[in-house]
Amino acid sequence: MDAILIHGMGRKPMAMSILGARLLAAGIRPHFFGYMVALESWEHCVLRYERFINRRAGAGDYIIVGHSLGTVLTRAVLPRLMHKPKACFFLAPPTRVCKAARTFGRRGVARFFMGRMGRVLTSDSFMTSLPVPDVPTKIYAGVAGPRGRFSPFGEEPNDGLLMVNETLLPNIPVQTVPALHTFIMNSKTVTEDIVRIAMRQTGIGSGIL
């Protein structure tokens, strides 16, 4: 089985390397897709992503694991794929325009580094137009962010960037994990769950999504 791994905004494929190594140890071959939000258009990146998946996955069984903006790209590419993944795993996915995107999207320097790709996260119409995945999918939301009187999130569970309620999709199961947004892909709990579900989807193991 293969795994397509796609990182989040401002990161590089190396950010998914610990997850990739753990998947490889479990018998799942990782393939890392990279992009740069400041230099690439949205449509061009989605097209490259589609071609990358078709080339690396071929006709065999595969899964997709995305982090943050990588999950948004995955939701955009899924309807284009003739050969669908067995399952998708979304780590800290922004599923609507979140509080952080609204804040940073108004700042000039931040908008520059977000590029045309990252700025889709500030568009209500774009975010609501993305299709809900039509393959088995699971969301992992971090809850290690600050809470309380001095937190910008108040008492809402969050990962330091997204609140849990900003990661939800209709009828998609969600699991909270004690992780921050930037490092949720390094959670051993997340990897173990991905492996368990991936093996079940291909008939190798047992368990439930």
Residue 89's DSSP bridge partners are 65, 138
Report DSSP state, residue 145: S
Residues 100-153 have pLDDT tens digits of: 655 554 544 344 445 566 667 778 888 899 999 999 999 999 999 999 988 888
- Beta sheet of 2-6, edge-to-edge order: 29-33, 2-6, 62-67, 87-91, 137-142, 174-177
Which domains does the chain possess?
2-201 (3.40.50.1820)
Helix (H) or strand (E) holding 5: strand 2-6
CA-wise closest residue to 194 among 183, 207, 181:
207
Quote the tokens at residue 90: 């979304």
Residues 8-47 have pLDDT tens digits of: 987 899 999 999 999 999 999 999 999 988 788 899 999 9
The Cα 209–Cα 202 span in angstroms is 12
The Cα 45–Cα 124 span in angstroms is 20
| Per-residue confidence (pLDDT) for residue 201, from 0 to 100 | 80
pLDDT above 70 (res 169):
yes
